[in-house]
């Protein structure tokens, strides 16, 4: 008689690509290290992820020559706080390197990885829990996103050249939650053209689930975004 072997349930990990230079955010160095309401942008982000108990660990992927992280995020420590200085020249390369690092630390191919932008520092733990609750039993995974509310214009030479139908269109956010094996394979095949993890998964023939996010989960991209984020943090 063959003994029945229990299948270990899939675990959840966060991966934060943190190797960019943030050129669009203006002067002042990488945007993830800019000060915001008393701490760095990255510190706000990582504190929110640390408050999600179902995340076994949070891996931050830095550029190989990054010597500033510990100074700007001094509280990132403990058994659930992992660092790897293996970031690449693009987001996809950085995430792929981070997935390989997770696998090297024993994370299985069927474990979930939640990739989150370091610059989405207004993240709330409840939104991460919403994503996990929705996707934990999904065959593909999914991402936080919000339906588009504004009228979209096609631009040509600085002028509106047409109106784009916004029906059925959503703005992608992060975290984006996929199994390590599926995401690593998708990035290996389509990473060079992927703008986010979901687009690589889509190109591999899968349909990620859209999980309703919040407009407040904005990504700091332009200089004015920092003022807006500071005002939103002040209201919490």
**pLDDT tens-digit series, residues 181-191:** 999 999 999 99
**Range name among 22-26, 36-40, 184-188, 221-225 with the lowest pLDDT average:** 22-26
The pTM of this model reads: 0.93
- Give the pLDDT of residue 145: 98
Pairing state between β 81-85 and 39-40: unpaired
Element (H or E) spanning 201, and its range? helix 197-203
For residue 54, the SS3 value is coil
Q: Is the pLDDT of residue 54 over 50?
A: yes
Positive or negative torsion for Cα 96, 98, 100, 103:
negative
The tokens for 235 are 């209201």
Instruction: Report the percentage of the chain scoring pLDDT > 90.
Output: 89
C-alpha span between 23 and 20 (Å, rounded): 9
pLDDT band at residue 6 under the 50/70/90 scheme:
low
C-alpha span between 219 and 116 (Å, rounded): 10
- The span from the first CA to the last CA of the chain, in angstroms, equals 59
Q: Is the pLDDT of residue 26 over 50?
A: no
Question: CATH class for domain 12-234?
Answer: alpha beta
Return the DSSP state at 2.
P
Residue 83 · residue 72 · CB < 8 Å = no
C-alpha span between 231 and 227 (Å, rounded): 6
Q: Is the pLDDT of residue 21 over 90?
A: no
- Give the pLDDT of residue 25: 41
């Amino acid at each position: 008689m063959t003994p029945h072997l229990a299948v270990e349930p899939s675990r959840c990990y966060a991966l934060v690509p943190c190797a960019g230079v943030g050129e669009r955010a203006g002067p002042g160095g990488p945007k993830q290290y800019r000060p915001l309401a008393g701490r760095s942008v990255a510190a706000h982000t990582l504190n929110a992820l640390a408050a999600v108990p179902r995340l076994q660990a949070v891996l931050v992927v830095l550029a190989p020559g990054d010597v500033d992280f510990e100074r700007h995020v001094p509280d990132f420590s403990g058994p659930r706080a992992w660092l790897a200085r293996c970031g690449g020249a693009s987001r996809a390369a950085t995430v792929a390197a981070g997935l390989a690092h997770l696998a090297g630390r024993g994370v299985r191919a069927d474990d979930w990885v939640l990739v989150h932008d370091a610059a989405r520092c207004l993240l709330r733990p409840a939104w991460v829990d919403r994503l996990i609750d929705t996707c934990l039993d999904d065959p593909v995974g999914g991402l936080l996103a919000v339906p588009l509310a504004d009228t979209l214009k096609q631009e040509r030479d600085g002028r509106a050249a047409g109106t784009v139908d916004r029906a059925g269109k959503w703005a992608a956010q992060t975290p984006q939650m996929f199994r390590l094996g599926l995401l690593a394979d998708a990035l290996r095949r389509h990473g060079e053209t992927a703008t986010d993890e979901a687009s690589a998964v889509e190109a591999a023939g899968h349909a990620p689930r859209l999980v309703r996010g919040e407009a407040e989960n904005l990504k700091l991209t332009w200089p004015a975004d920092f003022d807006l984020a500071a005002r939103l943090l002040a209201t919490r």
